[in-house]
Amino acid sequence: MSFELLEKFRDPALCRKILDKMESELDRELRFMEVCGTHTVAIFQSGLRSLLPERIVHLSGPGCPVCVTHESEVNAFLDLAGRDKVIMATFGDLMRVPGNKGRNLKKAVADGARVKVVYSPFDTLKLAKENPDDLVVFIGVGFETTAPTIAGTMMMARQQGITNLRILCFHKTVPPALDALLADTAINIDGFILPGHVSAIIGVEPYRFIAEKYGKSAVVTGFEPLDILQSLNQMIEWRNKGEAHVSNNYTRIVGENGNPKAMEVMYQVFEPTDALWRGLGMIPGSGLEIRPEWEQFDAKKEFGITIEEGPALAGCKCGDILKGVKQPDECPLFGKACTPANPVGPCMVSTEGSCAAYYKYKLD
Amino acid sequence: MSDKVLLDYGSGGRASQRLISDLFLKYLGNDELDRLNDAAVLNLSGRIAMSTDSFTVDPIFFPGGDIGSLAVHGTVNDVAMMGAVPRYITCGYIIEEGLPMADLERIVKSMGEAAEHAGVKVVTGDTKVVPKGACDKIFINTTGIGEIIVDPTPSGDAARVGDAVLISGTVGDHGLTVLGTREGLDFEAKVQSDSAALNHLLVKLVRELPEVHVLRDPTRGGLATTLNEITKSSNVCCELVENDIPVRPEVRGGCSILGLDPLYLANEGKFLCVLPGEYADKALEIMRADPLGKDAKHIGTMTDANPGKVVLVTQLGGKRLLGMLEGEQLPRIC
């Protein structure tokens, strides 16, 4: 999309108009959760957080792939880094994620591990070809947004006869996590700002249960200030009429049915499985695993990796923050024992984590 | 000479002599360097500014520059930021065995041209060749020295409440260019490093303005990190207006794709100028009259609201912190 068009979605006068309308229509506190970490950052970066009516409580949900990567998964990839004949390939986000004993990939590199930051999973094909005597292991972390590209990479690797590429598959899917959040009666959410990138793949249909089963509203939303404000305003209007709906406010990118081709590619290679989410625990059907016919690429099988629930990090409230039960600055470690330089929990380490966003952008 | 740099060239023997005379003196030679004495004898007077920097950029050639010119620009700029006229620089080359001789020649030639353009002489140098793998192609250290022409010298702790904050042009160009070239990323619109020697413009500025409090080049860590350093040292708050910060659309686009923030990307041909508000217009006039300052903008003001912090007034009129960069910027997953 052209930048000129994008600028329209940042129009200060239009934003002000919607902000004023929201202010006048709010008769009580409403709690909205943005599922996606990119939304969290967009809300802070644009300064929206300082402009939203006080009665809107803004919660950051479990939509940052780094934040929800379970500690057992982190320890698994850190254990692999530094193994003989293994080159880890990863997106940059995971480089600072702490495992147990303060380990992370950056420190592993300093200790001699071979870790390559890639910009696309397809870069691993070249890496594998250039290092035929090594095993290239790509850390497959992310939601429906990244899974199809990784599936495509595996297909291409098979076509090209590449045998030294493995995927450490920790993919998760968003709708089951939202179902789990809504089923938890301790969690009080009035509506969801639904992720733009994930929805571009899965469409709107998989979220219908939010209104039908739980009577809450949700709007697929883009990342510009006007996108976010329009979605919030829409949900306030529905709320005032006593209605609940799921709709798509990001039609310039997200089709009602998403991207069927990407979904087909994704499910050709992966199948649903139960998955452990950091802070949320085991959520049935919320993960993706490599199908048996693609197991030649499966790093978990190759290295016998199992993912298990372990003891929670002492004092860390990332779990409550991901559920929208606590705000980042309500965590006793926030800004003290836990900072971006020395993150204790995943919400502080990821650039899209809610704690990192609070620490980085929040003025008061 | 061989078509590749061999360990022999760092031996100190005949091969080293040949490298020095056929290459370094050819492009960097001047009365002082040509003497090949153990040390340079310099003619300087008054208060002196001195700075050293090591350059390890990857890739060594990038759109808009290379490690040779960068090594001159970086150090010349550091000296000039103190309100000084850079006069002499030194250079230390650490070269990886096997570097193509043509690449080395291109770098030394570029360094010579940059030094000539900046009006500095390379007066002493050193060359080492290390075994393959012991360094990455080539590292260059430069030290610069210059005569200070203003009193008091501009300093990071001299910003005052009410001061205007000016930037000499668009930010993020160098950082995105180097990252894009290193990773082989093909941006829709090509970007180019802004690497340049700013000393002539800076000398003009400090000579013509009655007072300049801070001059800094926002290199690694970018505009945001440099301003954080200044506000902390000076114990003032910098209120920046996002709309006024010049960023090329292609840089904004590239950053948006990679999940990077142009305000944290390195610049090699820009400077920040903090000075009393009443001199802002005059400073902008001087800057804009020079090609290196044609896009200069007044981007913010020093206040007493949040001492030690940088606050960004966003396009929407909201306010948020603009903190210091933590480690390097890493591209995100989605």
Condensed to tens digits (0 to 9), the pLDDT of residues B183-223 reads 787 765 579 999 999 999 999 999 999 999 999 999 999 99
Condensed to tens digits (0 to 9), the pLDDT of residues A315-339 reads 899 889 988 899 999 999 999 999 9
Q: Are residues B130 and B175 in the same domain?
A: no
Contact assignment for B183 to A119 by CB distance below 8 Å = yes
Q: Are residues B144 and B237 in the same domain?
A: no
Whether B109 is in a domain gets the answer: yes
The model's confidence at residue A297, banded by pLDDT at 50, 70 and 90, is very high
- Domain edge (last residue) among B124, B148, B172: B148
Q: Is the pLDDT score of B326 beyond 80?
A: no
DSSP state of B20: I
Whether B84 is in a domain gets the answer: yes
The single residue listed with the structure tokens 């986000």 is A93
The model's confidence at residue A119, banded by pLDDT at 50, 70 and 90, is confident
Contact assignment for B319 to A142 by CB distance below 8 Å = no
Whether B155 is in a domain gets the answer: no
Nearest to B334 among A92, A197, A363 (CB): A197
DSSP state of A91: -
Contact assignment for B323 to A363 by CB distance below 8 Å = no
Partners of residue A15 in chain B, C-beta under 8 Å: 316
Q: Are residues B299 and B175 in the same domain?
A: yes
Condensed to tens digits (0 to 9), the pLDDT of residues A134-162 reads 999 999 999 999 999 999 999 999 999 99
Q: Is the pLDDT score of B325 beyond 90?
A: no
The whole-number pLDDT of residue A35 equals 93
Q: Is the pLDDT score of A34 beyond 90?
A: yes
Q: How confident is the prediction for chain B on average, in pLDDT?
A: 94
Contact assignment for B332 to A146 by CB distance below 8 Å = no
Partners of residue A142 in chain B, C-beta under 8 Å: 333-334
* CATH code of B199's domain: 3.90.650.10
Partners of residue B259 in chain A, C-beta under 8 Å: 351
Contact assignment for B331 to A51 by CB distance below 8 Å = no
Residue B36 CB burial class (10 angstroms; 0-12, 13-18, ≥19): middle
The whole-number pLDDT of residue B333 equals 54
The whole-number pLDDT of residue A346 equals 79
Q: What are phi and psi of A243, to 5 degrees?
A: -110, 160
Q: ipTM of this predicted complex?
A: 0.81
Q: Are residues B15 and B99 in the same domain?
A: yes
Q: Are residues B192 and B79 in the same domain?
A: no
- For chain B, the straight-line distance linking the first and the last C-alpha, in angstroms and rounded, comes to 50
The whole-number pLDDT of residue B330 equals 65
Nearest chain A Cα to B242, which residue? A46
Contact assignment for A12 to B311 by CB distance below 8 Å = no
- Domain edge (last residue) among B122, B148, B174: B148
Q: Are residues B179 and B44 in the same domain?
A: no
| Residues B84, B198 contacting (CB under 8 angstroms) | no
Q: What is the mean pLDDT of residues A255-284?
A: 95
Condensed to tens digits (0 to 9), the pLDDT of residues A9-29 reads 889 999 999 999 999 999 899
DSSP per position, A335-360: TTTB-SSS-SSHHHHSTT-HHHHHHH
Q: Is the pLDDT score of A4 beyond 80?
A: no
| Residues A81, A139 contacting (CB under 8 angstroms) | no
CA pair distance B11, B160, nearest whole angstrom: 53
Q: What are phi and psi of A334, to 5 degrees?
A: -60, 125
Query: Which of A88-102, A218-232, B269-283 bottoms out in mean pLDDT, i.e. has the lowest?
Result: A88-102
The model's confidence at residue B224, banded by pLDDT at 50, 70 and 90, is very high
* CATH code of B120's domain: 3.30.1330.10
Query: Which of B69-78, B155-164, B207-216, B258-267 bottoms out in mean pLDDT, i.e. has the lowest?
Result: B258-267
Tell whether B320 lies on the interface with A, counting CB pairs under 8 A.
yes
Q: Are residues B196 and B65 in the same domain?
A: no
Condensed to tens digits (0 to 9), the pLDDT of residues B226-263 reads 999 999 999 999 999 999 999 999 999 888 878 789 99
Q: Note if the bond before A346 is cis, omega within 30 degrees.
A: no
Nearest to B318 among A51, A146, A360 (CB): A51
Q: How confident is the prediction for chain A on average, in pLDDT?
A: 93
Could you tell me which of B210, B203, B205 has the C-alpha nearest to residue B276?
Answer: B210
In terms of pLDDT, which residue wins out, B256 or A79?
A79
Q: For residue B323, give Cα distances in angstroms to A43, A45, B232, B332.
A: 16, 12, 11, 19
Whether B331 is in a domain gets the answer: no
Q: Are residues B101 and B26 in the same domain?
A: yes
Interface of A with B (CB under 8 A): 3, 10, 12, 15-16, 38, 44-51, 65-66, 91-93, 95-96, 106, 117, 119, 141-143, 145-146, 197, 225, 340-341, 351-352, 359-363
Q: What is the mean pLDDT of residues B65-93?
A: 98
Partners of residue A352 in chain B, C-beta under 8 Å: 332
Q: Are residues B119 and B171 in the same domain?
A: no
Whether B156 is in a domain gets the answer: no
Q: Are residues B136 and B173 in the same domain?
A: no
Residue to mutate among A14, A67, A90, A91, with most B CBs inside 10 A, is A91
Nearest to A10 among B183, B315, B321 (CB): B315
Q: Which amino acid is at B118?
A: A
Q: What is the mean pLDDT of residues A228-255?
A: 96
| Residues B300, B240 contacting (CB under 8 angstroms) | yes
Helix, coil or strand: residue A227: helix
The separation between CA A259 and the C-alpha centre of its own chain, rounded to angstroms, equals 19
Q: Are residues B53 and B9 in the same domain?
A: yes
The whole-number pLDDT of residue B37 equals 94
Helix, coil or strand: residue A145: coil
Q: What is the mean pLDDT of residues A40-64?
A: 92
Contact assignment for B332 to A92 by CB distance below 8 Å = yes
Q: Note if the bond before B59 is cis, omega within 30 degrees.
A: yes
CA pair distance B166, B3, nearest whole angstrom: 47
Which residues lie below 8 Å from residue A264, measured CB to CB, with a gap of 6+?
Answer: none
Contact assignment for A363 to B321 by CB distance below 8 Å = yes
- Domain edge (last residue) among B116, B148, B180: B148
Whether B158 is in a domain gets the answer: no
State how many domains chain B has: 2
The range of the structural domain enclosing residue B167 comes to 163-322
Q: Are residues B192 and B287 in the same domain?
A: yes
Residues present in chain B in total: 334
Q: Is the pLDDT score of B125 beyond 60?
A: yes
CA pair distance B12, B53, nearest whole angstrom: 24
| Residues A196, A223 contacting (CB under 8 angstroms) | yes
Most confident region among A294-298, B185-189, B315-319 by mean pLDDT: A294-298
DSSP H or E run through B18:
helix B14-19
Residue to mutate among A350, A351, A362, A364, with most B CBs inside 10 A, is A351
Partners of residue B183 in chain A, C-beta under 8 Å: 119
How many angstroms away from the CA of B94 is the closest CA of chain A?
22
Nearest to B334 among A119, A145, A362 (CB): A145
The whole-number pLDDT of residue B10 equals 85
Which residues lie below 8 Å from residue B127, measured CB to CB, with a gap of 6+?
Answer: B9, B10, B16, B19, B20, B24, B92, B93, B95
CA pair distance A36, A218, nearest whole angstrom: 13
Angle at alpha carbon of residue A208, lines to A205 and A211, rounded to 5°: 165
Q: B301 - beta bridge partners? A: B164, B239
Whether B153 is in a domain gets the answer: no
Q: Is the pLDDT score of A41 beyond 60?
A: yes
